Structure 1
Amino acid sequence: MRTSILKKVKRIVIKIGSRVLTGDENGLDHALISRLAAETATLRRQGREVIIVSSGAVAAGRKELGIEGRPKSIPQKQAAAAIGQSHLMRAYEEDFGRFGHKVAQILLTRDDLSNRRRFLNARATIDTLLGFGVIPIINENDTVVVDEIKFGDNDNLSALVTNLAEAHLLIILTDIDGFFDSDPRANAGAKLIPLVKSITRDVERAAGGSGSAVGTGGMATKLAAAKKAGQFGVPTLMLNGMIPGILTEAFTGREVGTLFLPARESLNRRKHWIAHTLRPNGRVIVDDGARTVLSRKGKSLLPSGVVRVEGEFDRGACIRVCGTDGAEIARGIADYSHAEIERILGRRSSEIEAILGYKYGDEIIHRDNLVLL
């Protein structure tokens, strides 16, 4: 199975974690970057396109500023990123240049991908760079990022880039051999799981927190990334980036690391963008009848099924759809603002124009803009 899946892969997103790039947490490990450049060059010679989502800027800048451990404030993190990003790109440029490959820097925030036009512009930039044979190096723009526009971690960013770039495989390079049934750092008897067919709640419970002073993600964030990529129909391969030759070895079909299979029913690009890239601004509470119609039949959300609206949002905003028990069942793009929904909730679609004096459509959220969770 693994050989047949990897044989079809032409475009790859490779996420490289801070722990892999910084070795013993004393700045960038240039020997490791050089090795990864050599392995990436091998993939390129095989006719595969490579996009890299790279952590490491804050860790590299932290050394330059003399900061021990994680930066203690957002301004410290932003300052470290500002210094470290140039060091990180210089390392990539020098090491990939030895193999005749050019690299390009792309810095993103959630705002860049939440805005549909900027999302499409970013995709066009990546496609153009790949067309010229350039390897995009993508990172979160930590110098300006705040909580409201953060991706959270580069595991999440790598999953979103997989959708953005329409990649065929996500590779997550970490500092352990793959996904285990328990934390191998705490349990010597932990067993590596080479294949995960579905990311169930039991699988998620086996994940823990961040295992490094320089990283922001742990196994839970890597599982979340694999799940998001899987919902786009893309498999994820988790490998130990500290092992020399691991990328080359993986593409021989040898069972290294952990392969996460994609979901059986995948989301299209737009619905994946709605579900995972947009930040919800409010929510509507629906009755049991609407909940059943949405969950089982995939219909649009009509005003007659809405019992309450919470939060303030404009038309075109992403909102959560929740049952009366508070559980989120879907999210989507609202055709009406919170103020408009408050006036038409519980009413028939045929009454909208008489109540508001105008009408955008019959639905609060059209099914094409609605994603079941």
Structure 2
Amino acid sequence: MATLADLRSACRLVIKVGSALLVERGAPRADWLATLAAEIAELRQHAEVIVVSSGAIALGAARLRLAKGGRGSLADAQASASVGQVELARLWSDALGLHGITAAQMLVTLGDLEDRRRYLNASATLARLLEAGAVPVVNENDSVATEEIRFGDNDRLAARVAQAAGADAVLLLSDVDGLYDRDPREAGAVLLERVDGVTPEIMAMASGASSSGLGSGGMRAKLQAAQIAERAGIALVIANGTHPSPLTRALDQGIGTLFLPQADASARKAWLGGRLAPAGVLSVDAGCMNALDQGASVLAAGIIEVEGDFARGDLVAVHGPKGERLGQGLVEYTASECRAILGLRQEQQADRLGYAPRAAVIHRDHMVRA
């Protein structure tokens, strides 16, 4: 895909809708949703569509008359989501039903896409729903999610859903036209039409704030979503959804930012790279960092610090000596074992462990680079 118009050739597309687009002052924007549903119906003439929809907390908070849009506390957010999820499912069912499309509600938690077996189950459910002709409407299950164990925004969720569904592209509908080289409110700010890989320089252009106050994301979350998508070989677009026909405006007029897919990792490596909740951190020295650049594994001799309390097989992040994030992978030892052997060469490790050491702390086959 080289331009936004190429998204019309996608065989499977994930569309993310933010809270501020769907809900205004606690009430659904029914006319706007009707227009979007019509555009989705048009897309479905040649593509399968998955919707990732925010809005449950905002809708539920209005019904329960809770302050701060239901985000005053975790308990308020969970209660609001419980009520709002019913309303959100009805809105999508009614809007898509006018075009003869069946909507299917699918609520997921972070754990559903972090655990490999549950991830494959979610992938199979999405595939079967699409095969049956339904439009899955996915949302994080905020009624049970906690502050510590949650996606926190539906931008990254959309990228993970696209990965699980084997989608060609993700379209994030936002309240801005796309990624600007600086705050778009500043004079001279330039909209970037295409980004070939999310670099530290690109990430520095982002703000973490949600301008509407309803959502939980921001441009930084969208760029993190782009990183997840690009690693899996999936294109991602940020476009303005506030207009009456947002898909037509973005795709036909070419207004938005297209993030090009990068190396198409294996399914398992893409899943591993997209995981969001490492259980700990291994910091390594400069020599190990250089070896990782050549495709090596993480060895105990190069580890200088261990953070967290993790078990064998858990996901851990790997940082360089200055705290720079190098990647993440599945660790072969517990945290206490890592602390016991850090800095030691393989021939020195058996005395500390009480058994023959493994080949690596994180094998290169079980690691993805940042």
Q: With structure 2 as the length reference, what TM-score do the two structures score?
A: 0.92
Aligned to 2:341: 344
| CA drift at 1:40 | 0.4
Contact 1:278 1:318 in 2 (8 A): no
Q: How does 1:1-373 map to 2 (within 5 A)?
A: 1-2=2-3, 5-6=6-7, 8-22=9-23, 24-45=24-45, 47-71=46-70, 72-184=72-184, 186-187=185-186, 189-208=188-207, 209-252=209-252, 254-263=253-262, 265-295=263-293, 297-349=294-346, 352=349, 355-359=352-356, 361-373=358-370
Counterparts of 1:203 and 1:346, CA distance in 2: 35
| CA drift at 1:275 | 2.7
* Closer, same or farther: CA 61–322 of 1 in aligned 2, 3 Å: same
Counterparts of 1:30 and 1:91, CA distance in 2: 8
1:169-193 deviation per Cα after TM superposition (whole angstroms, max 9, x unaligned) = 0101112322333334x34654333
| CA drift at 1:247 | 1.7
Counterparts of 2:248 and 2:367, CA distance in 1: 40
Contact 2:74 2:147 in 1 (8 A): no
| CA drift at 1:64 | 0.6
Counterparts of 2:290 and 2:201, CA distance in 1: 26
Counterparts of 1:330 and 1:108, CA distance in 2: 25
Counterparts of 1:20 and 1:176, CA distance in 2: 11
Code of the residue aligned with 1:244 in structure 2: it is P
Counterparts of 1:224 and 1:327, CA distance in 2: 16
* Closer, same or farther: CA 4–84 of 1 in aligned 2, 3 Å: closer
Identical columns (%): 40
Where 1:285 maps in the other structure, the secondary structure is strand
1:282-309 deviation per Cα after TM superposition (whole angstroms, max 9, x unaligned) = 22232322221112x1111222322343
Counterparts of 2:210 and 2:5, CA distance in 1: 33
Where 2:68 maps in the other structure, the secondary structure is coil
Code of the residue aligned with 1:289 in structure 2: it is G
| CA drift at 1:278 | 4.4
| CA drift at 1:215 | 1.2
Contact 1:19 1:25 in 2 (8 A): no
| CA drift at 1:355 | 4.9
Counterparts of 1:244 and 1:191, CA distance in 2: 24
Counterparts of 1:91 and 1:62, CA distance in 2: 16
Counterparts of 1:110 and 1:266, CA distance in 2: 23
Where 1:224 maps in the other structure, the secondary structure is helix
The unaligned stretches of length 5 or more in structure 2 are none
Larger CA deviation: 157-166 vs 278-287: 278-287
1:212-231 deviation per Cα after TM superposition (whole angstroms, max 9, x unaligned) = 12111122222221232122
Contact 2:346 2:357 in 1 (8 A): no
* Closer, same or farther: CA 5–80 of 1 in aligned 2, 3 Å: same
| Aligned-residue CA RMSD (Å) | 2.2
* Closer, same or farther: CA 146–34 of 1 in aligned 2, 3 Å: same
* Closer, same or farther: CA 156–288 of 1 in aligned 2, 3 Å: same
* Closer, same or farther: CA 345–261 of 1 in aligned 2, 3 Å: same
Counterparts of 2:204 and 2:339, CA distance in 1: 39
Counterparts of 1:323 and 1:49, CA distance in 2: 42
Where 1:148 maps in the other structure, the secondary structure is coil
Where 2:44 maps in the other structure, the secondary structure is helix
Q: With structure 1 as the length reference, what TM-score do the two structures score?
A: 0.91
Counterparts of 1:188 and 1:21, CA distance in 2: 29
| CA drift at 1:5 | 3.9
Larger CA deviation: 97-106 vs 326-335: 326-335
Aligned length: 367
| CA drift at 1:65 | 1.4
